[in-house]
């Protein structure tokens, strides 16, 4: 964002109305019992689910319910002692930037210092506008639609020397789950690296941008994101009002494909994985599906990634079933393995990869399944960013790790870009 370098505005993040003081986070081993039995046992405990895997459920537990929770005699491991103390590590909002020079010509790239703190929704929007102005001939800020509360769902479209919307698409979505702030920051870091790299004539960046159109939407759930900042740091869903008592639909259970498969979502509006009244009935998902189908019709989608946190996973189709694999699973597994290897070479982070249902758990109405089978993308992934499980951070990642996340994922995407450039170069003449 273009603010005077002499001005730094600090806005505390500790103004959320919901207090999680002394709330503790536990991992519950489900290997010795069924998932449903554990969920049923937790029904009388005031808790918030924060992670789920084949062999474990991770929950934040209200201190008032700790006695009852301990009385369940579950096999648990404590990994966060006080959720409020974790949130304090996120620091303060900070906004400042300085123009950067490119050769003899001044180009106002957003400054890297943007990635040293988390930001408000308005600052994220300004970042997109500034990024577009630094790449004016090959980009535009676009709006896919509006949220429940009327906020615009904005993204940036990047293209190369063949012109706008001439090449197969790469689509990235961030912050579908409101509390996963690192996802939008990482997506923006990747967009920033693409624009800078193109301006600096980096060979790989020039090759991938000249052979693909990028559609990058850092925050697809703006209402939930704002609510997670102002009211409840653990908020996950959007802000739709399908029920008098409970608010919100899990947007990653609302995509209109395999929406009502038993076991993959919830019909209870109070649950974290509530799928909505009807498939694709949230305005956010209507906007995202319309945009994806329009891109499919025009150029096709080469690669789609829905960015999440946490657990360090690369998740392929399918989520709705563990019995079927995508038609090109071997190809997707090969590329996912190369991405995971590149990340590990960069930072040492270990990313597990595989089909969603087989790797973590069943999900219905998910983005990757819809994008792969309906929008016909060649690659359709969900990537769970750092940290790994049980590290004490979860999706509450300190700002000092934003650039680390961006750099390791940039290394992974660079490996993917090499494959995509190799695949598309003969077709598109670059």
Catalytic sites, residue numbers: 384
Closest CA to 416 of 172, 181, 200, 201: 172
DSSP β-bridge partners for residue 171: 215, 304
Q: Cα 140 to the chain's mean position, in Å?
A: 22
Q: Which residues contact 361 (CB under 8 A, 6 or more apart)?
A: 35, 52, 53, 54
Cα–Cα distance, 74 to 19 (Å, whole number):
26
Prior bond of 310 cis (ω within 30°): yes
Give the separation between CA 267 and CA 250, rounded to whole angstroms: 11
Closest CA to 5 of 149, 103, 114: 114
Exposure b/e, 201-230, CB count within 10 A at least 16 = b: ebeebbbbbbbbbbbbbbbbbbbbbbbbbe
Which residues, including other chains, have CB under 8 Å from residue 203's CB and lie 6 or more apart? none
For residues 71 and 78, give the distance between their C-alpha atoms in angstroms, rounded to a whole number. 15
Is there a cis peptide before residue 225, judged by omega within 30 degrees of 0?
no
Q: Which whole-number Å values give the CA distances from 369 to 158, 305, 316, in the listed order?
A: 25, 11, 8
Pick from 25, 42, 22: nearest CA to 78: 25
Angle between helices 402-428 and 181-199 (to 10 degrees): 50
């Amino acid at each position: 964002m273009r603010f005077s370098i002499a001005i730094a505005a600090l806005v505390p993040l500790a103004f959320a109305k919901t207090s999680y003081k002394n709330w503790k986070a536990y991992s519950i081993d489900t290997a010795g019992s069924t998932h449903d039995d554990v969920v049923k046992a937790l029904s009388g405990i005031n808790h918030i689910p924060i992670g789920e895997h084949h062999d474990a459920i991770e929950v934040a537990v209200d201190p008032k319910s700790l006695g009852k929770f301990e009385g369940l005699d579950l096999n648990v491991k404590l990994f966060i002692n006080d959720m409020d103390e974790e949130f304090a590590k996120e620091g303060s909002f900070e906004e400042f930037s300085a123009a950067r020079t490119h050769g003899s010509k001044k180009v106002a790239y957003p400054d890297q210092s943007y990635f040293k703190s988390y930001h408000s929704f308005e600052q994220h929007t300004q970042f997109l506008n500034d990024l577009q102005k630094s790449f004016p001939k090959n980009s535009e800020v676009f709006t896919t639609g509006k949220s429940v509360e009327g906020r615009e769902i904005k993204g940036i479209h990047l293209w190369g020397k063949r012109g706008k919307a001439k090449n197969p698409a790469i689509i990235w979505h961030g912050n579908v789950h409101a509390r996963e702030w690192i996802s939008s920051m990482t997506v923006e870091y990747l967009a920033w690296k693409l624009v800078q790299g193109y301006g600096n004539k980096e060979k790989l960046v020039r090759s991938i941008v000249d052979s693909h159109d990028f559609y990058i939407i850092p925050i697809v759930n703006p209402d939930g994101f704002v609510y997670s900042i102002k009211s409840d740091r653990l908020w996950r869903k959007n802000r739709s009002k399908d029920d008098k008592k409970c608010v919100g639909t899990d947007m990653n259970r609302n995509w209109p494909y395999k929406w009502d498969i038993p076991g993959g979502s919830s019909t209870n509006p109070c649950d974290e994985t509530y799928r909505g009244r009807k498939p694709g009935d949230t305005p956010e998902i209507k906007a995202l599906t319309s945009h994806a189908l329009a891109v499919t019709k025009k150029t096709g989608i080469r690669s789609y990634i829905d960015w999440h946190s946490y657990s360090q996973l690369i998740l392929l189709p399918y989520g709705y079933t563990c019995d079927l694999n995508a038609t090109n699973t071997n190809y997707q597994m090969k590329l996912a393995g190369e991405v995971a290897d590149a990340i590990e070479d960069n930072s040492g982070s270990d990313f597990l990869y595989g089909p969603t249902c087989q790797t973590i758990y069943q999900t219905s109405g998910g983005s990757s399944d819809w994008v792969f089978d309906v929008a016909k993308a060649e690659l359709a992934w969900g990537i769970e960013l750092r940290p790994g499980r049980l590290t004490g951070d979860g999706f509450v990642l300190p700002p000092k790790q934003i650039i680390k996340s961006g750099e390791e994922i940039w290394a992974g995407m660079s490996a993917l870009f090499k494959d995509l450039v190799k695949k598309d170069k003969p077709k598109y003449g670059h």
